[in-house]
Amino acid sequence: KNEVEQSPQNLTAQEGEFITINCSYSVGISALHWLQQHPGGGIVSLFMLSSGKKKHGRLIATINIQEKHSSLHITASHPRDSAVYICAVISNFGNEKLTFGTGTRLTIIP
């Protein structure tokens, strides 16, 4: 079992829909990242969070440390949101390396 699991693996939605991507992890963590990767490979860090909720524009990320679960929400989705969204955690075992989920491929249809 992977330390970081994401669901769904693929998601197709109509423009304007509310999107939720889930991330569950099995280790104790000091922080969790949500990353966005567009075709061509470029990766952008969307959020880093260790508790609660963060919002940036139409993106909202939440984390529940007790349940070892995080969600990324996109409101009023747009075709330019089409990308792979990757959850990554930093374990609290003393090292700081990132462990990645397998990613969620999101496609927004106009």
Partner 1 sequence: KAGVTQTPRYLIKTRGQQVTLSCSPISGHRSVSWYQQTPGQGLQFLFEYFSETQRNKGNFPGRFSGRQFSNSRSEMNVSTLELGDSALYLCASSLVLGGTQYFGPGTRLLVL
Chain residues binding partner 1 by CB under 8 A are 30-31, 33, 35, 41-45, 48, 86, 88, 90, 95-103
Nearest distance in Å: CB 87, partner 1: 11
DSSP symbol at 80? G
Nearest distance in Å: CB 110, partner 1: 27
3-state secondary structure of 38: coil
Closest CB to partner 1 among 87 and 108? 87
Cα distance between residue 45 and residue 106, in whole Å:
16
Closest CB to partner 1 among 11 and 48? 48
3-state secondary structure of 50: coil
Closest CB to partner 1 among 17 and 37? 37
Cα distance between residue 82 and residue 17, in whole Å:
13
Cα distance between residue 84 and residue 100, in whole Å:
13
Nearest distance in Å: CB 91, partner 1: 10
